[in-house]
Amino acid sequence: DQQVKQNSPSLSVQEGRISILNCDYTNSMFDYFLWYKKYPAEGPTFLISISSIKDKNEDGRFTVFLNKSAKHLSLHIVPSQPGDSAVYFCAASIDSWGKLQFGAGTQVVVTP
Amino acid sequence: EAQVTQNPRYLITVTGKKLTVTCSQNMNHEYMSWYRQDPGLGLRQIYYSMNVEVTDKGDVPEGYKVSRKEKRNFPLILESPSPNQTSLYFCASMSSLAGGNEQFFGPGTRLTVL
C-alpha cells in the first residue's frame, strides 16, 4: 500500500504561469519530505525539501508547502519555464537516514 | 565531477541467467541504495547500505542480493532473474553526515528479462 500518493499523473501549464503539484501521505511518522525532478534517460535529481517542523520552504522559483494536519504537501513553481518540463516525484521519510517512500510521479509539461 | 555511475545502462537477458548491475560513487558517501521504478508505483527501495559490510532490506528485496565490500561500490545481483524484475533500476548515494535525506542518483539501468 503506497504511503505517498501523487494523484495527478500529468500537468500542463503555460510558460510564465504557476505550476502546483500535490502530494498526500498516510504515515503520520514521516518527518522529512522531498521533491525530486527527473528528465528522460536521467536519474532523479534533488529539488527541494522540508522538515516537519516547518510549513514552508522556498528556493528561488520553487516553494514547498507542508500541511501536517491534512497530511498534504505541494510544490509551487513560479514562473514555470520550458526547462521545468519533467517528472516530479514527491518523497517522504521517517528519519534522515535514507529510507525514502516515493509517490508515483507527476509529468509536468510547460507549453510556450 | 561528483557522480554516481551505473553499468550497464541497458540490458536484455533471459530468465534464470545471473546478472550483476554495478554502481559506483566518487563522493565518499557512507549510504548507498538501490531502487526500482515501475509505472504507477514510483521508486521503491530494494536494498540499502549504511556503510561498508552493512546492508539491509528495503521494501522489495525478493529476488535481489547486494554486497558492500568497498565504500564506493554497491553492486546489485539478480541470481535468477524473472520477467517481473523487468524494470528501471536506480542506484543512489548520500552522505550520512549531511542529513536531510538528499540522495544523489545514478542515470539508471533499464533491465528487460525475457
Burial bucket for residue A101 (CB in 10 Å: 0-12, 13-18, 19+): buried
Per-residue model confidence (pLDDT) at position B101: 77
d(CA B33, CA A46): 15
d(CA B6, CA B10): 10
Nearest CA of chain A to the CA of B88: how many Å?
10
Verify whether the Cβ–Cβ distance A100 to B43 is below 8 Å.
Answer: yes
Per-residue pLDDT tens for A54-73? Answer: 999 999 999 999 999 999 99
Verify whether the Cβ–Cβ distance B43 to A42 is below 8 Å.
Answer: no
B74 touches chain A (CB under 8 A): no
Q: What is the DSSP letter of B73?
A: B
**Facing B106 at nearest CB: one of A32, A43, A101:** A43
Q: Which residues of B touch A50 (CB under 8 A)?
A: none
Q: Which residues of A touch B31 (CB under 8 A)?
A: 97-98
Average model confidence (pLDDT) across chain B: 94
Identify whether the C-beta of residue B35 lies closer than 8 Å to the C-beta of residue B25: no
Confidence of residue B10 (pLDDT cuts 50, 70, 90): very high
d(CA A79, CA B88): 31
d(CA A2, CA A8): 15
d(CA A91, CA A101): 5
Per-residue pLDDT tens for B44-94? Answer: 999 999 999 999 999 999 999 999 999 999 999 999 999 999 999 999 999
